[in-house]
Structure 1
Amino acid sequence: MKRIFIVLFLWAFVFGFSQSKLTVINEAKGTPISNAVVSCNDKILGKTDDNGFLEFRSKCKSVQITAENYFKESALVEDEMTVTLINASSKTQSIETVILEDKSDPKALEVLRKVNQFFKRNSPQSLDSYAYKSYEKISLDIDQDSISAFNEVFNNNFNLFKKQKTKDSINDVSARKIFSKSKLFLWERAQEYLYSKKFGEKVNILDNRISGLKQPIYEMIALQGNRDKIPDQIKTENRGLYRFYLTDTIEVDDRKNFVIRYREVSYKKTVKRRKFSGYLYIDTDTYGIKKIESISKNKNEGNITSLWTFFNNKWFLAEESVKLRMSRMKMNNSDEFPENTEEHFKKNKKSFGTYAYLSSKYFDYQSPIEEDKKDFKGYTFTVKNADGKTLQQYRTEPLSERERNTYFVIDSLGKKYNIDRKARILTGLINGQVRSGSFDFDIGEIVNYSLYEGFRLGLKAKLNENFNPYFSPDYYFAYGLEDEKFKYGIGIDIKTTLEKNSFFRIEYYDDVNSSGEYYRRLWTFRMRMMNYGNNINNDKYYRYEGASLSYLNDVSNGLTLAFAARRNTEEAKFDYNFRNSGAKFENFNMLFTLKYSPNSTNIMTPQGKSLIDQKYPELYFNFEQSFKALGGDFNYTRFDALFVQNFKTRLGTTGVRLYGGLVLGEAPIWKHFTMNGLATPRRDINFNLTSYLGFATLEGGRFYNDRFIAYYFTHKLPWYFKSIGQNVSSLDFVLRGTIGDMKHPEYHDFKFKKLDHLYQEVGLEWNNFLSSYFNLGVFYRVGYYTTTNFKQNFAFQFKLKLLEF
């Protein structure tokens, strides 16, 4: 769900403050609260009347509301505000001691333990089969209670906006005009969910429409919410992020429910009473989740509500409702254009909050269903329709006038400002490419760095489906500033079908690569991006020139197979001699590659398959066989494999990478394994970027083996602490190790060492380092290869937070 709302920031603006009207009511009874004190920075602004109403003027961005026998609340300042206060009842007061000790109620934790224990049993996917549909609507708009006030101010000052163009940006004025008659953004989506224990899950996008876009953003329309997932508040590994208190037992829909109130740890205040930030309703019989309600620290910042229904003895998601504050819009409240513009504008402006809204309805539940294999073929997601023409069939209520106007207004702006092209650029970054017309440009080829090439500048472009849906030529060229050499390649993909990834490829190339490189053909863009720094300190490169013919086929949603036949001329670009035969050879080989990712979700788009959610376990396997045919000089066999898995327990989340390789027969050193060292003896302190398979303290380009195994363990500790601002950080414990051997090191005449003892390093990663987008890791070499030189054993490492595990 968080990923959905990232898109909405494209439509957000920056705003101000004004005179405000506030209504304070009792959260439980809905009645007004009189004599509630409203203050800012300990200065009283006023008290509410018998109707719970107060009008005040303040430059503060937020105010505090207190009343006798109620918990104190904060609220962001807007023109019209409604704040609810929680009554400090005897039941709530009875857990006050627990709250002041800043720990969760043991009874609440026991209930949550059973929720996790029985989650799979309560999940719809414990059934043999089911089907249901959903209709979702996401929008960006001003607060619904402020629309009439906004229009009044806008209409009174329309001429003023025209005169103020020198003061306000054109975009700001345009946003005001849009809000006067429509929303700023609207997205509708209808989906069908099918599940079978035999065939798995299938999600059909029945229809979709996004305002301002002519073509759908497929990666966006496949995003999902809390459906069939353990909500964050319930997850065992997030216990340290919240405090939970069992407060009541009530009846909802004729079923008894535990009521658990919770708050985020980041809201903690050392002396003052803690505020609750949400409610959990847990069915007392099944321990299924009935309802989750999340309330922001400041009441009018927003709220999130998820509701489940009991059908066929399982808990299906029934509704989701989200309201999140995005930003503020300020408008002049003067009827005439003032002479003293700057001063008068500050005193008379009004502000309106803009919010992101989501409304999801799930319906037409069926279980069991007739299971037909053809209904489940292809990838997890299939797009049935994406032009919005059939949405009327699935809407749970008709569109309002503002919503109908949104499509007309924003679609017009989309054409004017070419929003389609900009959106495709942003979504293309997910797969590591930028689209321009009929060309897709690979952003991973623009700039790279290695010890051999120095900075490598390149351009890689591929003709996409706008050129031809079945034939896709591509080319690339690059230049190394250090080796001062050009590299290039040209190829063409020939698709056999448009329903899945299945294509032949022919290519010719003349390029360089690092010795001992681990094959990454079917790796995701995020994995490849994490591994970019793997060769920064490896200067042992070889040139390869030749051609290849290959075929790739997605056998199923989770299984991909690729075959390739290659004929290359290969030459070491460093001082090297293989068995007194020199450093240049002919190589004819065949490569078989497999990727198995049974739990990942994918969608087929006109651009090809797109990965929506990478889930574990995953297996990557390569088998290469060289032949003394077609002029080839070798007859070696090479294997390598990578297994990735995540485990979640009460003690935290553990990530595992197990990988290894084997070379049989005689092969040059670049077909062996370099052990992925990232360190260099040329620096006083080892500092490097993370690598998917690298070692922070191991010297790069120094060790080679013809067989090895390695492991990478990371464990996220279930302990959270406050970082700068309101951000929360955590720590990961990391252990890496590898061991291998080389059967005939004498075959290779150059300076290197084999790594035939266990090499290990331990580390600690500070996630969300100083509230930045990076994780900082500190690593130390332990075991056999530890030296007396501290700097050789020690290393710092930075990792981009978005790369995750």
Structure 2
Amino acid sequence: MKHLFLFFFFTLSLQAQFRITGIVKENSSNKALPFATITTNNGINSITDVDGKFNINSSKPISFFYVSYIGFSKIKIDVQKNNQFFNLKLTQTTNNLNEVVIATENAALSIIKKTIALKDNNNPQKRLHSFSFKNYNKLIVSANPDSISGKIDSVFIRKYKQGTLYKIDSTNYKFKNTVSKRHLFQTEKISQYQFSDNKLKETILGTKMAGLKQPLYEIIAFNLQSFSIYDPKYELFETKYNSPIADDATKEYNYKLLDTVAINGRSSYMIYFKNKKKSKAKGLEGILYIDQSNFAISKAIMRIRGLLNISGTHEFEYFPEENIWFPAHKTFQIIKGQNDDDITIFGGTIQFDGDMEQDFSSRKKQPSDYIYLRSESHIFDIQKNSLPIENPSFAVEIEKNAFNKDESFWESYRKDNFDIRSKKTYSELDSIAIRKKIANRVRIGKKIINGYLPIGFFDMDLRKIFSYNNYEGFRLGLGGVTNEILSKNFRIEGYYAYGTKDGMFKGSIGTAARISQQANSWLGISYTDDVREIASTSFAIEKKPFKIYDPRPINISTFYNYVSWKSYFETNQIPKTESIWEIAHSEIQPKFDYAFNKNNKLYTNYTMTTAMVSLQWSPFSDFMQTPTGQIEIEKRFPKFSFQYTQSLGSLWNNDFNFSKFDFKTEYEKKYLNGQKTSLLFQAGYALGDVPLTHLYNSSPNNITKETIIQRITFGGKNSFETMYFNEFFSSKYAFFQFKHAFNRVTIFKKIKPSLVLVSRMAWGDLDHPEEHVGINFKTLNNGYFESGIELNQIFNGLGLTTFFRYGPNQLPKFEDNIAIKLSYVLNLGF
């Protein structure tokens, strides 16, 4: 496999007068040596990049420098006035890095153990009660035009010997011409960071993004690398790795002492770390510089290599009064790694092109292979005792005027060289964005992801256009909500639908007004005449992900009609929560043979007046406060949903008195190898006079047919695939689901199934089953169990699942306990 490298350099001084550059290679193989140490006579320490190249700028003369590398002989190089580029080769010693095995105590391991033991004392977030600082960040996507072949410097080149001209691929020529003038993408950000009470908050004072008048919140919030090198789980490009100085790090990493160097005039050990297991060869590796006196991290280089080569560098400033090293400068870079496939990140903002050739080594390098992403952060104005944090529940807050800063603001804060190429990036991309209406395309794309198609001032709800179930048949409709073009503080929403089988029209109409922009609080009222599945459990606060289709309702035939007036208040006022508070008056009519027997009176239709609060709490997630509301920028688990419904006595001719408590919690764990474990627990408890329409059915998804083949339908996400519709009802229940998804396995070029193991179990009971007349059912007081295997995305999104029912509610005929279902995953490419 061929390594794809990109030249990059570290600028140590913008006012540099002396400069040395070069490349370091292995003498025997002539391969580049990344992470070789360069130490100059005037105290500058640097390392070679992934291409083996180095670039050192200094305000003081450089008369000589040393070059050292793991497992190679150290060399000294004298610098002559007329020589600024050095082509250096190191000779390998008998000590090979690949053979490093730490079986007993050695120098590196001893140093690491002391570093781990003293990390709380050296961590600024542990040592300092509070601090604040400003941060300038610049992120670019670009390519170095000098790295691209000179053969494409013009549209025509001279063919060898014949002297004729022929036209080359103009795409390559245009690409080099473009990156010679400007970057492909660029964004800047000025932030104020505050730390207090173990919380770190970022307030964005100013931000700008080339080509977009209003920057994308998703990119602003994207976490490229951990702020603190002392985090037990170090994060690099939204993937968390066990830190090389975590409490249990010595079980996972090998360490080797490379050298001792001076950082800011203080001697530091230079220690290389890498995963012990070969299976983790693409995991975290890098170099830690550890202060010899206090065993604090004085510099760190973290990297992973794979489809993408990703590196993050942390540099620090020493505070002698506190005897700690404080973050001062961070860099983050992505280049293409050992990969021949397209890789899209930031939702398509950056794309690393690949091809489909079988022999990657024979693939001709394309100019776009040189594309890199680089983010650089400069920390300044550090205050060690700062004021308390306002709104500490938000990890990030954007000031209202952050998008409208003038050039004088940016000139006062920029800590990086802002050259002509950077200036042209803004002017040209802004011009392209206006000409191609990029902002409008982004707006439309984001709405479509959420299931809406904007048409002028109206967002059409794509979920309402078409669906199917056994009661309504084909349900055809139209619905949506007004958008910000009409008003940012007022909306009208609704839908109208027709069922081809029941021949009935249904619909809803409502309006709401925003009463708080900061908490995204709305007060609204609506009227609805529609049908709903009996005994179904839904949390009003939960936002259902957009699906082109929802397969489970296809086989449902028992519905009830509800005509409802509702007033509601939705808000994010409580930190890390979303909530809906609602009062509703509904007329209920079951659309199947059923009557509720209360005090010897049969109710075939009834009136309900209820108050409800539905709340979702995400205590471990990070949230961003934007000028238009709150968004969840980092989803963490577990998450909790609560819902309480209470009938309101005799208000509005209410027929029944009851209470309902519903609870759900979700947990997900993603592994570095791409696998994922998901857990779901859900429970409900209804007490009082509750008709069957409003009880619990545990989400069945199996139809009553004679053979397995006749029962093949589409599977659901969290439903019991072997449980028949209307088989069980409960007034109290508990449901647990376990899923573990493995990596997709390539069987053939277009057949890459994803294996998922699933187990579900439920328990339930029903108070006063004799009150429910006209339908036969059982209770879940003995429990219900099923397990199965999902083979998803076998071909073009289609998959196959198989589940087996066992335990106390297992059926007498073996084949009746088996359910085979189809699955379908639609990949929209987002």
**What TM-score, normalized by structure 2, do the two folds share?**
0.71
Q: 1:98 to 1:259 in 2, by over 3 A?
A: closer
Letter in 1 for 2:209: I
3-state DSSP of counterpart to 1:353: helix
Does 1:679 find its partner at 2:686?
no
Pick the aligned partner of 2:492 from 473, 491, 495: 473
The one-character-per-residue Cα deviations of 1:640-695 (angstroms, maximum 9, x if unpaired) are 11123457999997644322111112222121011112233446267676655422
2: CA distance between counterparts of 1:734 and 1:439? 41
Residue 489 of structure 1 corresponds to 508
Match in the other structure for 1:709: 734
Contact kept? 2:397, 2:626, Cα under 8 Å = no
Q: For residues 86 and 488 of structure 1, what CA distance do their matches in structure 2 show?
A: 77
User: Structure 1: how far apart are the matches of 2:365 and 2:645?
Assistant: 71
Structure 1 residue 699 displacement after superposition: 2.5
Q: Is the 8 A contact 1:260 1:280 kept in 2?
A: yes
Is contact 2:394-2:623 (8 Å) kept? no
Q: Find 1:739's aligned residue among 763, 766, 773.
A: 763
Match of 2:722 among 697, 706, 709: 697
1:248 is aligned, of 250, 257, 264, to 257
Structure 2 distance, partners of 1:780, 1:288, is: 54
| 2:241 partner SS | coil
Structural mapping, 1:23-34, within 5 Å: 30-31=23-24
Match of 2:303 among 279, 289, 294: 294
- Asked if 1:618 corresponds to 2:651, the answer is no
Are the equivalent residues in 1 in contact too, given 2:518–2:630 (CA < 8 A)?
A: no
Q: Deviations over 1:209-242 (max 9, x none)?
A: 22222222223322222225623473399999x9
Q: What amino acid maps onto 1:193 in structure 2?
A: Y
1:119–1:482 Cα change, 3 Å:
farther
Task: Quote how far apart the aligned CAs of 1:362 are.
Answer: 4.1
Residue in 1 aligned with 2:376?
360
Conserved 8 A contact 1:464-1:607: no
In the TM superposition, residue 294 of structure 1 has moved relative to its aligned partner by 2.9
Matches within 5 A, 1:133-172: 133-146=134-147, 149=150, 152-153=153-154
1:183 paired with 2:179, answer no
Q: Distance in 2 between matches of 1:775 and 1:85?
A: 54
Contact 1:236 1:650 in 2 (8 A): no
CA distance in 1, matches of 2:694, 2:117: 48
Structure 1 counterpart of 2:217: 218
Q: How far, CA to CA, are the matches of 1:454 and 1:85 in structure 2?
A: 75
Shift of 1:401: 1.4
Map 1:508-547 to 2 at 5 A.
Answer: 508-526=527-545, 532-547=550-565
Moved more, 506-515 or 627-636: 627-636
Given that 2:463 and 2:548 are in contact with CA atoms closer than 8 Å, whether structure 1 keeps it comes out as no
1:399 is aligned to 2:418? yes
Give the corresponding residue for 1:279. 286
Instruction: Report the AA paired with residue 566 of structure 1.
Output: A
Alpha-carbon separation, structure 2, partners of 1:433 and 1:503: 20
After superposition, give the CA deviation of every residue in 1:332-372 in whole Å (9 maximum; x if it has no partner): xxxxxxxxxxxxxxxx9985534132222141374654343
Q: Is 1:592 the counterpart of 2:594 in the alignment?
A: no
> Aligned with 2:218: secondary structure?
helix
Which residue number corresponds to residue 59 of structure 2? none
Greater Cα offset, 212-221 or 662-671: 212-221
Q: Distance in 2 between matches of 1:491 and 1:136?
A: 44
C-alpha change, 1:176 and 1:250, in structure 2 (3 Å) is closer
Look up the match of 1:659: 682
Q: Does 1:235 align with 2:242?
A: yes
1:260 to 242, 267, 273: 273
What are the Cα deviations for residues 411-448 of structure 1, in whole angstroms up to 9, with x where unaligned? 11111111111111233355444445433344444444
**Distance (whole Å) between structure 1 residues aligned to residue 804 and residue 87 of structure 2:** 52
From 321, 326, 329, the counterpart of 2:332: 321
CA contact (8 A) 1:91 1:247 kept: no
What is the deviation of 1:634? Answer: 1.9
Q: Matches of 1:523 and 1:709 in 2, distance apart? A: 19
Q: Structure 2: which 5+ residue stretches go unaligned? A: 9-20, 32-51, 54-70, 73-85, 159-165, 337-350, 356-363
Match of 1:307 in 2: 314
Letter matched to residue 682 of structure 2: Y
Query: Is residue 99 of structure 2 the alignment partner of residue 96 of structure 1?
Result: yes
8 Å Cα contact 1:568-1:587 kept in structure 2: yes
* Partners of 1:639 and 1:304 in 2: CA distance: 49
* Deviation, structure 1 residue 550: 1.0
2:128 aligned with 1:130:
no
Decide whether the 8 Å contact of 1:277 with 1:297 is kept in 2.
no
Query: CA, structure 1 residues 156+210, in 2 after alignment: closer, same or farther (shift >3 Å)?
Result: farther
Given candidates 571, 576, 596, the residue that maps to 1:558 is 576
Q: Distance in 1 between matches of 2:110 and 2:746?
A: 29
Deviation at 1:177, TM superposition (A): 5.7
Q: CA distance change for structure 1 residues 21 and 641 in 2, over 3 Å: closer, same or farther?
A: closer
Distance 1:277-1:565 versus aligned 2 partners, 3 A rule: closer
The equivalent residue for 2:37 is none
Contact 1:465 1:607 in 2 (8 A): no
Two-structure CA RMSD over aligned residues (Å): 5.1
CA shift in 2, pair 1:436/1:376, >3 Å: farther
* 1:702-781 mapped onto 2 (5 Å cutoff): 702-714=727-739, 723=746, 734-748=758-772, 749-763=774-788, 779-781=803-805
Q: Deviations over 1:2-48 (max 9, x none)?
A: xxxxxxxxxxxxxxx9xx9999xxxx99445677579xxxxxxxxxx
Find out whether 1:203 has 2:202 as its counterpart. Answer: yes
- Contact kept? 2:24, 2:90, Cα under 8 Å: no
Q: Which has the higher helix share?
A: 1
| Cα separation, 2, equivalents of 1:444 and 1:121 | 55
What is the match of residue 44 of structure 2?
Answer: none
Aligned ranges 1:334-353 → 2 under 5 Å = 351=367, 353=369
Counterpart for residue 46 of structure 2? none
Contact kept? 2:131, 2:386, Cα under 8 Å: no
Equivalent position SS for 2:817: helix
In structure 2, what is the Cα distance between the partners aligned to 1:487 and 1:472?
Answer: 21
Q: Residues of 2 paired with 1:457 and 1:593: CA distance?
A: 29
Q: Distance in 2 between matches of 1:488 and 1:608?
A: 29
**What is the TM-score of this pair, normalised by structure 1?**
0.73
Matched residue, 1:382: 398
Shift of 1:471: 1.4
Determine which of 430, 443, 446 is the counterpart of 1:424. Answer: 443
| Structure 1 residue 460, shift from structure 2 partner | 3.1
Letter in 2 for 1:508: Y
How many Å separate the matches in 2 of 1:802 and 1:119? 44
1:505 to 524, 534, 542: 524
1:577 corresponds to = 595
Q: Secondary structure at the match of 1:234?
A: strand
**Contact 2:270 2:287 survives alignment (8 Å):** no
Total equivalences in the alignment: 700
Shift in CA distance, 227/773, structure 1 to aligned 2, threshold 3 Å: farther
Deviation digits for residues 23-74 of structure 1 (CA, Å, limit 9, x no counterpart): 9xxxx99445677579xxxxxxxxxxxxx99xxxxxxxxxxxxxxx99xxxx
Structure number with the bigger relative contact order (C-alpha 8 A, sep ≥ 6) is: 1
Contact 2:312/2:331 (8 A) holds in 1 = yes
Match of 1:205, as an amino acid? I
Amino acid of the residue matched to residue 188 of structure 1? E
Name the CA shift for 1:587/1:96 in 2 (closer, same or farther; >3 Å). same
Equivalent position amino acid for 1:306 in 2: T
Task: Look up the equivalent residue of 2:561 and give its one-letter code.
Answer: R
Residue aligned with 1:215, SS? coil
Determine if contact 2:753/2:799 at 8 Å carries over to the other structure: no
